[in-house]
Structure 1
Amino acid sequence: MSAPDLATVQWVKSSYSNNNGTCVEVAFVPGGVAARDSKDPEGGALAFSAAAFGSFLRVIAQRSPE
């Protein structure tokens, strides 16, 4: 996956984020998803292929308490 241009994407805060400052934002980019810390939007982001991000979400869903 090539590096996406993150300056033009629309970032969305996780619906699981709360007001204690531990927030994650994601953006859909060609071929995958980018994620960043909402407290430090200029601090960089991680880019994942769609398959890798899907695997991550499946693992988290299996381990998170409801």
Structure 2
Amino acid sequence: MTPLTSQDMTNAVWTKSERSHNGADCIEVAHIDGGVAIRNSNLPDQVIFAFTSEWDAFTGGVQDGQAELLP
């Protein structure tokens, strides 16, 4: 796996939630080799990376209604 700083994000396809309010203040994700890149739509140059297993564990917890992950 190449570190995120070495990932070519040029062709990344960013997706945001359909619950986004007018496209502002959103978290966007891009599925890339080995994981998921995550960014704030207002700060597109600041990207963090989660490995696929980490992303699956997080989203699974949200889907299960894990209270600590939800507001």
TM norm. shorter chain > 0.5: yes
Pairing partner for 1:17 from 17, 20, 45: 20
Task: Provide the rounded CA distance (Å) in 2 between the counterparts of 1:7 and 1:14.
Answer: 21
- Please list the CA deviations of residues 18-44 of structure 1 after superposition, one character each: whole Å capped at 9, or x if unmatched: 2483311000100111110011112x1
Q: How does 1:15-54 map to 2 (within 5 A)?
A: 15-19=18-22, 21-42=24-45, 44-54=46-56
Task: Provide the rounded CA distance (Å) in 1 between the counterparts of 2:34 and 2:20.
Answer: 25
Structure with more helix by fraction: 2
The amino acid that maps onto 2:38 is A
Q: In the superposition, relative to structure 1, how do residues 20 and 27 fare at CA in structure 2: closer, same or farther (>3 Å)?
A: closer
Task: Provide the rounded CA distance (Å) in 1 between the counterparts of 2:48 and 2:17.
Answer: 15
* Alpha-carbon RMSD: 2.1
Question: Share of identical aligned residues, percent?
Answer: 31
Gaps of 5+ in 1: none
Q: Which residue of 1 aligns with 2:11?
A: 8
Q: 1:34–1:46: 8 Å Cα contact kept in structure 2?
A: yes
